[in-house]
Amino acid sequence: MPRPDDDAPPAPFRPLLRQGARFAREAAERPILMFEDVYKSYRPGAPVLRGMNLVIERGEFVFVTGPSGAGKSTLLRMLYRAETVDQGRILFMGRDVARLTPESVPFLRRNLGVVFQDFKLVKSWSVYENVAITLEVLGLPTKLIRARVGEALERVGLQGRGEDPGGVLSGGEQQRVAIARALVGEPALILADEPTGNLDPQLALDILGLFEEINESGTTVFFATHDRSLLEVRPRRLIVLDEGKAVDVQCGVSPQFEDDYAALPH
Amino acid sequence: MISGSIGTTRRARRGMLREWRLQALSIFSLAVAFVCLGSALLVVTNLHAVEERWAHAGRASIYLKDTATQDDVESFRSALSRVPGITQVKYVSSGEARAEFGAEEVPIHPDLAALPVEAFPASIEIEVRPDLPDAELAAIVAKVHQLPAVEDVETYRAWTDRLASLVRGGVAASVLLALVVLCAVLAVVGSTIRLALQRRSIEVEVLRLVGATDAFVKGPFLIEGSTQGALGAAGAIGLLAMLFAVVRGRMDGELAALIGVEPSFLPWTIAAAMVGLGAVLGAVAAFLGLRKLVAV
């Protein structure tokens, strides 16, 4: 069993060159994420998203909110291709996610980090194993995995906890492990689906702070929440899902947002 | 490639160790199924050895008519001694045959003591080279049969034919048992893998989310299925070997005297083939069990 806290200092964090990756200046200048006229419904006559348009630039931190059933989770699930769109396009780094073949979906997910409300940790695995799996899937050498997992755990404040079983951690710690798992592969985009939903307010703020730190290092963060207290304490770009469409409330908390948000059905 | 295989094997081992009770139950069930197949193969192997032994018994009995004179016998013995392939010629008179029978059978069946000496025809027992082809022996027998002093010739062919038929029956039974084992392996390993998949659904979901390919997710389960099959077969062979050692220790002498061949255990090639069959069947069963893999 490799140990995350071995004697050697961790190697510096370097971006991964993934299969098929090549540098293209024009691609680097495109928005990281574009929704173009996206429709999605689970039942006939009751669409969750109806003609949604949205553009997210590289390095942005975006909150997406809306009442329960507004389609926040659906939006995220379509992004990592757990759902398919009925109509329209979702362009991630210029590629239409909806048109990917099933064989290509794993390669899409290697460029994304996903964090859930229920953490989705394997309780019987250690903290180290839960984080390292992201890099094992990429086929990296054990030594490199060890160094990078150690660094990721340090970033989320869990240094020295690599050997702990996932099942004995508190809720906040489990979410930190889930965040470490999402960021250890250096994804271009991190999707967070109600990541503070199971945490108390103070822990929720701590976790939000972690996402902000990740964002400061250049990673785009797409943060779905209906926790109004989080939206109020952080001035960020906010997308409100309303009647199947995205309403963009730029630059976070504002008197106008207060009015808009209060007017939404809760 | 190599590091990927090592990683897959490591994850399979980790999964098996964490669910060792489930794995042990599965292996035991498979071992029971393989014991049936192994027993049938053991019987067939030994029957085949007996058949081989008697098919090349290298002897024949030439029964003489009551009218054959001592001169006939002498000239006959002399002629047979000169035939290429015949290594020994021995005359057994009616009285000697009666005495031999009496020594062997009368203590068991006293009623047979009353049989008259005429019931036992005189014979000439010949032994032929063990490597003498069946066709040559048949030609000798055909020529001997035409002689006027000869009543009948016994080459024990009918007995070996019956043995061969028994072996064929055993092979057919083994094939049937192999089919039963196939079904058992598919059912047991398939169920075990589905159960393991259900218990590890969150693990599979996580793997899917972090971008694992189908091969990456399924690999450890296939190794687990294959290992279960191989260990089940190996366990069955071990169990059979123990039983064989016990039985052989008690009955070896009697069996050898009865069938003329010492009973032997399964040759290592058959044992290895059984383990290989278990491994392949286990992997196939796991593959089939994984068809409805958790999709995220």
Structural domains of chain A, with CATH: 42-111+188-266 (3.40.50.300), 121-186 (no CATH)
- Average pLDDT along chain B, 296 residues, taken 10 residues at a time: 71 85 89 88 84 71 84 84 85 84 75 77 84 79 82 78 81 84 85 87 91 91 93 94 85 68 87 94 90 61
Residue type, B26: S
The number of residues in chain A equals: 266
- pLDDT for res B242: 93
* pLDDT at B272 (0 to 100): 95
pLDDT more than 90, % of chain A: 39
3-class state of residue B2 by DSSP = helix
Instruction: Determine the pLDDT at residue B89.
Output: 87
Query: Would the CA dihedral through B294, A96, A175, A49 be positive or negative?
Result: negative
Pick from A107, A122, A138: CB nearest B206: A122
Q: Does B114 touch chain A (CB under 8 A)?
A: no
A11 pLDDT above the threshold of 70: no
Any A CB within 8 A of B2 CB: no
Could you give the angle at the alpha carbon of B20 between the alpha carbons of B18 and B22, nearest 5°?
Answer: 115
- For chain B, say whether A120 makes contact (Cβ under 8 Å): yes
pLDDT at A262 over 70: no
Non-local CB neighbours of A79 within 8 Å, separated by 6+ positions: A33, A90, A92, A97, A112, A189, A191, A222
Q: Does B133 touch chain A (CB under 8 A)?
A: no
pTM, whole model, 2 decimals?
0.70
Residues near A50 by beta carbon (within 8 Å), at least 6 away in sequence: A39, A243, A244, A245
- Distance CA(B106)–CA(B113), nearest Å, equals 6
Q: Average of pLDDT values for A37-52?
A: 88
Minimum mean pLDDT range among A19-23, A124-128, A140-144, A229-233: A19-23
Determine contact, residues A151/A13, Cβ cutoff 8 Å. yes
Domain B58-155 top-level CATH class:
alpha beta
ipTM: 0.80
Residue-wise pLDDT tens digits, A85-126: 999 999 998 889 988 998 899 999 999 999 998 989 999 899
CB–CB contact A139 B205 (8 Å): no
Closest CA to A65 of A265, A219, A205: A265
Closest-CA distance, B250 to chain A, in angstroms, reads 50
Judge: B209–A109 Cβ closer than 8 Å, yes or no.
yes
Confidence band of A13 (pLDDT split at 50, 70, 90): very low
Digit-coded pLDDT (tens) for A58-82: 999 999 988 888 888 899 999 999 9
Mean residue pLDDT across chain A? 83
Of B286, B259, B63, B82, nearest to B191 (Cα)? B286
Q: How far is CA B163 from CA A1, A55, A226, B122, in A?
A: 58, 84, 82, 28
Give span(s): CATH 3.30.70.3040, chain B: 58-155
More confident residue, A61 or A198: A61
Residue A28 has pLDDT above 70, yes or no: no
| B211–A109 C-beta distance less than 8 A | yes
Nearest residue, CB atoms, A124 vs list B18, B212, B216:
B18
> Of B175 and A38, which is predicted with more confidence?
A38
Residue A255, pLDDT > 50, answer yes
Does residue A16 have a pLDDT over 50? no
CA nearest to A134 within chain B: B210
If you count residue pairs, one on A and one on B, with CB atoms under 8 Å apart, how many are there? 49
Beta sheet of A87-92, edge-to-edge order: A46-56, A33-43, A87-92, A95-96
Tell me what pLDDT residue B16 has: 85
Q: Are A152 and A5 in contact (CB under 8 A)?
A: no
The total of other beta-carbon atoms located within 10 Å of residue A131's CB is 31
DSSP secondary structure string for all residues of B131-144: T--HHHHHHHHHHH
Contact of A94 with A141, CB cutoff 8 Å: no
pLDDT band at A233 (very low <50, low <70, confident <90, very high): confident
Q: What is the CA radius of gyration of chain B?
A: 30
* pLDDT at site B275: 95
Enumerate residues 44 to 83 of chain A having a beta carbon within 8 A of any beta carbon in chain B: 80, 82
Report which of A165, A117, A110, A156 is spatially closest to residue A133, judged by C-alpha positions.
A110
Question: Contact A64/A224 with Cβ under 8 angstroms?
Answer: yes
Backbone angles phi, psi at B45, to 5 degrees: -60, -45
Question: What does the block give as tokens for B24?
Answer: 């042990």
What is the SS3 assignment for B60?
strand
Name the residue of chain A whose CA is nearest to B2's CA: A139
Asked if B207 lies within 8 A of A137 by C-beta distance, the reply is yes
- pLDDT tens digits for A236-251? 888 888 888 888 775 5
Q: How far apart are the first and last CA of chain A?
A: 49
* Gap from A254 CA to chain B (nearest CA, Å): 36
**In angstroms, rounded to a whole number, what is the distance separating the alpha carbons of residues B186 and A230?**
53
